């Protein structure tokens, strides 16, 4: 009897294994990614994994590398819950796709995702130095590569995919429209051959037609709200790690940057005040706050604070939430090694005003990122070009466009601190951008000249920070060695401006 039972058990087990092998289906694991396609069909970086709903449209997912005329874009696939989505952006631009013939069709419906002014980490993430390599938090990239999510190694066991949009012409048109700034009046007339710059500065009448950015009124209103409004909701949605998206009692929102590393908080807030010294209005209003779960402002979310593993009393940065953002693409004049933005007729002849308004803001961005040694924007694209030829055609990291056309310089926590530690390796990229530039907003050039001639950029930065932030004593001042580097880089910008004035007249 025992023998019969053993034989029957063995037969049953074997039969079950065989049946299981026949019915088992192959499954590809899709890693989370920061790229996705908006409802307008434009490739975008997802700076937040919450608040996203599936964009409309039908896409074909195919690994056929011989497909013609297909625009490789990414598409979020909802999994488990609306708050968790996986994008296909990490499969885009991989020329070594595995030659599978199967295709998957799916329709998804929803709204265009809202975006946050400080929705935080791109795949480049908070870079750290390790020998001679640069890698994201918790992720090491091979050979010092900064992982942008543009490709996926076969060793990860996943299949590279292409995403084909069925209406390519509409996508191309949307991309072109998105690359242009909207002028405040809504007009975008084409400029003629008349010079629109004065020496190396944009003409005042032209500058007045461009997006204004965040004004002093905006900043003052934000400061009042962020200190007085009660926080009623706290959730993920502002990037990786322990950042949180908070909702105030008036339904407005903010991103909270929480970091254990103090110099990341310093880098973010001091970069913000450096932009104010330079009269730049592209950084969303930000301010220091202290986490206090028993205070009137935080008590409604005290359980969420515990769940987030935040330390009570920790200083954080609140940044105003900006909705309906779109990716920003690098201008053609800055893409190639021959990059050049100089006050010549071909800068504006036959171009819309929005084109010149864009270049004004890119001019400010180059100056700002040079001074702070920011690694997380154009330098990221330039560095990764050695592995991906299309990197300069991808959206710039940590740079978004508001509906007004204003560019938002986001996520500056590597500025003035971590970026300075990596100057030996990446200073060539910063220098190449600075030397390509010979047109400046007059207010920016005047601020640079004044700070350089007075030799007081460190004192002025500390003064402004102390006057504006009630919690200024909770953070250390910028070390003198960092101030010394900042002064040296300010001198470089001053010399570039002076050289351009000699070449094109003051």
pLDDT at residue 498 is higher than 50? yes
**402 or 164: which leads in pLDDT:** 402
* 375-391 average pLDDT score: 91
User: Could you tell me the residue range of the domain that residue 459 belongs to?
Assistant: 183-212+325-504
* 371-394 average pLDDT score: 92
Beta carbons within 8 Å of 45's beta carbon, 6+ residues apart: 34, 35, 36, 89, 122, 327, 395, 397
CA distances (Å), 413 to each of 9, 81, 102, 296, 348, in order? Answer: 63, 31, 43, 29, 34
Write down the pTM of the prediction. Answer: 0.67
Asked which of 258, 290, 320 is the last residue of a domain, the reply is 320
> Is residue 357 domain-shared with residue 402, that is, in the same domain?
yes
Q: How far apart are CA 287 and CA 282, in angstroms?
A: 15
pLDDT digits (tens, 9 = 90+) for 144-198: 333 333 333 333 333 333 333 333 333 333 444 444 555 554 556 676 555 566 6
> Is residue 341 domain-shared with residue 197, that is, in the same domain?
yes
Is position 285 within any domain?
A: yes
Q: So what's the pLDDT on residue 4?
A: 67
**263 or 87: which leads in pLDDT:** 263
Q: So what's the pLDDT on residue 350?
A: 81
Q: So what's the pLDDT on residue 356?
A: 87
Provide the terminal-to-terminal Cα distance of the chain, rounded to the nearest Å: 105
Q: So what's the pLDDT on residue 1?
A: 66
| Average pLDDT over the chain, rounded to an integer | 73
Which residues face 107 on adjacent strands?
A: 58
Asked which of 303, 320, 337 is the last residue of a domain, the reply is 320
Is position 12 within any domain?
A: no
> Is residue 334 domain-shared with residue 432, that is, in the same domain?
yes
* CA-closest candidate to residue 164, choices 59, 87, 68, 77: 59
> Is residue 409 domain-shared with residue 466, that is, in the same domain?
yes
> Is residue 474 domain-shared with residue 397, that is, in the same domain?
yes
Q: So what's the pLDDT on residue 255?
A: 96
Q: How far apart are CA 399 and CA 135, in angstroms?
A: 20
* 366-393 average pLDDT score: 93
> Is residue 234 domain-shared with residue 189, that is, in the same domain?
no
* 294-301 average pLDDT score: 96
Is position 225 within any domain?
A: yes
Q: So what's the pLDDT on residue 240?
A: 73
> Is residue 251 domain-shared with residue 310, that is, in the same domain?
yes
Is position 39 within any domain?
A: yes
Beta carbons within 8 Å of 456's beta carbon, 6+ residues apart: none
Q: How far apart are CA 191 and CA 279, in angstroms?
A: 26
> Is residue 259 domain-shared with residue 282, that is, in the same domain?
yes
- Share above pLDDT 90 across residues of the chain, in percent, rounded to a whole number: 51
Asked if 291 and 305 count as a contact pair (C-beta separation under 8 A), the reply is: yes
Count structural domains, the chain: 3
pLDDT at residue 335 is higher than 80? yes
> Is residue 290 domain-shared with residue 332, that is, in the same domain?
no
Reported residue count of the chain is 506
* 370-391 average pLDDT score: 92
pLDDT digits (tens, 9 = 90+) for 417-468: 999 999 999 999 999 999 999 999 999 999 999 999 999 999 999 999 999 9
Is position 336 within any domain?
A: yes
> Is residue 390 domain-shared with residue 496, that is, in the same domain?
yes
Q: So what's the pLDDT on residue 345?
A: 80
Q: So what's the pLDDT on residue 353?
A: 86
pLDDT at residue 142 is higher than 70? no
pLDDT digits (tens, 9 = 90+) for 89-116: 322 333 333 333 333 222 333 333 334 4
Q: How far apart are CA 215 and CA 317, in angstroms?
A: 19
Is position 4 within any domain?
A: no
Local confidence band at 209 (pLDDT 50, 70, 90 cut-offs)? confident
* CA-closest candidate to residue 401, choices 346, 352, 361: 361
126: its two tokens = 């908070």
277: its two tokens = 């010294």
Q: Find tokens 């509409």 and name the residue.
A: 170
pLDDT at residue 29 is higher than 80? no
Asked which of 287, 320, 353 is the last residue of a domain, the reply is 320
Q: So what's the pLDDT on residue 344?
A: 84
> Is residue 207 domain-shared with residue 225, that is, in the same domain?
no
Q: So what's the pLDDT on residue 241?
A: 81
pLDDT digits (tens, 9 = 90+) for 49-91: 333 333 333 333 333 333 333 333 333 333 333 333 323 232 2
Is position 72 within any domain?
A: yes
Q: How far apart are CA 418 and CA 281, in angstroms?
A: 23
Is position 17 within any domain?
A: no
For residue 183, the Cα-to-chain-centroid distance in whole angstroms is 23
> Is residue 250 domain-shared with residue 197, that is, in the same domain?
no
Q: So what's the pLDDT on residue 207?
A: 85
């Amino acid at each position: 009897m025992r023998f019969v039972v053993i034989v029957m058990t063995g037969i049953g087990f074997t039969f079950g294994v065989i049946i299981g092998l026949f019915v088992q289906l192959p499954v590809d694991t899709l890693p989370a990614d920061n790229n996705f396609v908006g409802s307008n069909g434009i490739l975008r970086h997802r700076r937040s994994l919450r608040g996203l709903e599936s964009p409309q449209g039908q896409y074909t997912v195919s690994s056929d590398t011989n497909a013609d005329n297909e625009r490789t874009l990414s598409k979020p696939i909802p999994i488990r819950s609306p708050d968790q989505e996986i994008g296909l952006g990490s499969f885009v631009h991989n020329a070594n796709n595995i030659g599978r013939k199967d295709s998957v069709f799916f329709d998804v419906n929803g709204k265009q995702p809202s975006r946050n002014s400080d929705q935080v980490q791109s795949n480049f993430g908070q870079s750290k130095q390790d020998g001679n390599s640069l890698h994201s938090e918790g992720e090491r990239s091979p050979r010092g590569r900064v992982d942008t999510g543009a490709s996926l190694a076969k060793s990860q066991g996943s299949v590279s995919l292409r995403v084909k949009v069925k209406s390519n012409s509409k996508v191309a048109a949307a991309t072109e429209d998105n690359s242009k700034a909207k002028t405040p009046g809504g007009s975008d007339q084409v400029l003629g051959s008349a010079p629109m710059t004065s020496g190396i500065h944009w003409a005042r009448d032209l500058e007045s037609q461009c997006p204004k950015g965040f004004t002093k009124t905006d900043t003052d209103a934000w400061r009042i709200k962020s200190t007085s409004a009660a926080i009623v909701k706290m959730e993920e949605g502002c990037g990786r790690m322990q950042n949180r998206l908070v909702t105030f009692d008036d339904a407005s929102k903010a991103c909270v940057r929480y970091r254990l590393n103090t110099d990341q908080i310093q880098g973010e807030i001091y970069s913000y005040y450096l932009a104010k010294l330079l009269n730049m209005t592209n950084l969303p209003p930000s301010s220091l706050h202290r986490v206090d779960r028993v205070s009137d402002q935080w008590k409604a979310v005290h359980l969420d604070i515990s769940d987030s593993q935040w330390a009570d009393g920790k200083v954080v940065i609140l940044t105003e939430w900006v909705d309906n953002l779109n990716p920003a693409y690098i201008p053609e004049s800055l893409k190639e090694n021959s990059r050049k933005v100089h006050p010549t007729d071909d800068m504006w002849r036959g171009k819309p005003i929005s084109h010149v308004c864009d270049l004004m803001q890119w001019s400010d961005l180059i100056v700002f990122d040079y001074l702070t040694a920011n690694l997380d924007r154009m330098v990221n694209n330039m560095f990764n070009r050695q592995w991906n030829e299309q990197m300069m055609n991808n959206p710039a990291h940590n740079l978004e466009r508001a509906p007004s056309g204003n560019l938002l310089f986001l996520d500056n926590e590597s500025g003035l601190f971590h970026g300075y530690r990596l100057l030996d390796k990446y200073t060539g990229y910063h220098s190449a951008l600075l030397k390509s530039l010979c047109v400046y907003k007059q207010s920016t050039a005047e601020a640079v000249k004044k700070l350089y001639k007075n030799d007081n950029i460190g004192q002025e930065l500390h003064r402004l920070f102390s006057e504006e932030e009630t919690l200024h004593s909770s953070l250390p001042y910028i070390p003198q060695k960092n101030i010394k580097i900042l002064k040296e880089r300010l001198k470089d910008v001053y010399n570039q401006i002076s050289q351009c004035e000699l070449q094109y007249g003051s």
